[in-house]
């Protein structure tokens, strides 16, 4: 682990995206109006009239499905019924009573945002459910996995707003815990609200970083204290191509979940209409970051985002930010949730160990 102190693109106008009818079929498709304007094969298809199709590439699972040997309790909770934002909580076994204070041991809370290019993914996906249950158990932490709104129906900054909304909701739970409210959440008796970490992978890491940056603008979260960011393969971009973006197709694992064409499509669908990839939400180097919390960045050696993430770490270090990063050898983008090979499982174990160390030290 190491420590370190353009041409516009075309985006889809979000006004095109309409609600489906109750049966899930837009009536305009019954008349043959089905011109595809954006597509990532097998992942998402966007039609000119606003209809969006997302094949079920990963099954969604209920909270009860988890490795019983981990001893992790998981439940879903509504965060905002008006926007349909919810979160899946993970809590490891109770760790007993602190002999010095005669109180239940408090655990740090990781607020987690899933990946998927802002356009696909769910907190209920089986791959995230398995990974986060393991992370909660091995790292001895609580996890709040946020199911945010997706683009293109809800382009950025919707996901960032959902992240902030989740933290405001969390603040309310902290007050309930402090006041001994009987209606408080089942997990909060274990939660140390003064040790909150913003975490995510891929697009979720982008969300974690941008939410942290927005907190600099004056959002008051007391008694919550944000102690750090953990960015796993953060999905950043820019108009100028990096070497890893241009050449890593030659060494990427077969059937990699992120290639350059898919990356560009995700950004066209997620950014505000008319934006280029040098928009600061995409390219954090465009105007820097005001976040002062400690930061850990997890980078995959065979990821097209590798060089861009290393540039980000270097820039943050030069700006005086506390940044740690680690490069995982021989694996590609999202290996910790989508790659079942023996090497990927070894690297996943290493990543969980590194995350635990970062949380314990902050």
E strands, the chain, are: 2-4, 36-40, 44-47, 52-53, 73-80, 85-91, 97-98, 103-104, 107-113, 142-147, 191-201, 226-232, 294-300, 323-328
CA distances from 255 to 122, 123, 156, 169, 332 (A): 21, 23, 28, 39, 10
Per residue in 17-38, is it b (16+ CB within 10 Å) or e — as a string? Answer: beeeeeeeebeeeeeeeeeeeb
Contact 117, 203 (CB under 8 A): yes
What whole-number distance in Å separates Cα of residue 215 and Cα of residue 290? 9
- Tokens matching residue 316: 């943050």
- Tokens matching residue 209: 């970083």
Phi/psi of residue 309, each to 5°? -70, -35
Contact 236, 297 (CB under 8 A): no
List helix spans (H) across 14-125: none
- The SS3 of residue 163 is helix
Angle between helices 203-215 and 158-179 (to 10 degrees): 60
CA nearest neighbour of 140 among 67, 66, 223, 72: 72
Enumerate the active-site residues.
202, 303, 333
Phi/psi of residue 287, each to 5°? -145, 20
Q: Decide the pairing of beta strands 97-98 and 107-113.
A: unpaired
């Amino acid at each position: 682990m190491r420590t370190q102190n353009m041409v516009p693109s075309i985006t889809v106008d979000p006004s095109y995206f309409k609600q489906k009818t109750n049966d899930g079929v837009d009536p305009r498709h019954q008349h043959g109006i089905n011109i595809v304007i954006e597509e990532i094969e097998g992942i998402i298809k966007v039609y000119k009239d606003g209809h969006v199709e997302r094949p079920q590439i990963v099954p969604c699972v209920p909270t009860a499905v988890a490795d019983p040997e981990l001893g992790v309790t998981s439940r879903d909770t509504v965060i905002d019924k008006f926007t349909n934002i919810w979160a899946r909580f993970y809590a490891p076994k109770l760790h007993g009573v602190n002999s010095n204070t005669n109180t239940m041991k408090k655990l740090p809370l990781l607020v987690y945002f899933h990946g998927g290019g802002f356009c696909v993914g769910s907190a209920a996906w089986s791959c995230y459910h398995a990974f986060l249950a393991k992370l909660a158990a091995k790292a001895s932490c609580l996890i709040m996995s946020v199911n945010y709104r997706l683009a293109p129906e809800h382009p950025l900054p919707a996901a960032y707003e959902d992240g902030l909304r989740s933290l405001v909701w969390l603040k309310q739970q902290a007050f309930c815990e402090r006041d001994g409210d009987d209606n408080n959440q089942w997990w909060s008796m274990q939660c140390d609200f003064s040790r909150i970490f913003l975490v995510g992978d891929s697009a979720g890491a982008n969300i974690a970083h941008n939410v942290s940056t927005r907190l600099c603008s004056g959002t008051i979260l007391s008694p919550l204290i944000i102690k750090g960011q953990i960015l796993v393969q953060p999905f950043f971009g820019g108009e100028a191509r990096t070497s890893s973006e241009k050449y890593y197709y030659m060494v990427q694992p077969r059937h990699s979940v992120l290639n350059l064409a898919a990356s560009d499509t995700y950004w066209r669908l997620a950014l505000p209409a008319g934006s280029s990839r040098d928009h600061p939400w995409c390219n954090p180097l465009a105007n820097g970051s005001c976040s002062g919390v400690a930061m850990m960045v997890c980078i995959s050696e065979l990821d097209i985002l590798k060089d861009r993430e290393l540039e980000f770490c270097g820039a943050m270090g030069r700006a005086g930010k506390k940044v740690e990063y680690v490069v995982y050898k021989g694996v590609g983008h999202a290996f910790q949730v989508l790659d079942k090979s023996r090497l990927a499982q070894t690297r996943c174990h290493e990543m969980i160990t590194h995350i635990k160390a970062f949380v314990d030290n902050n």
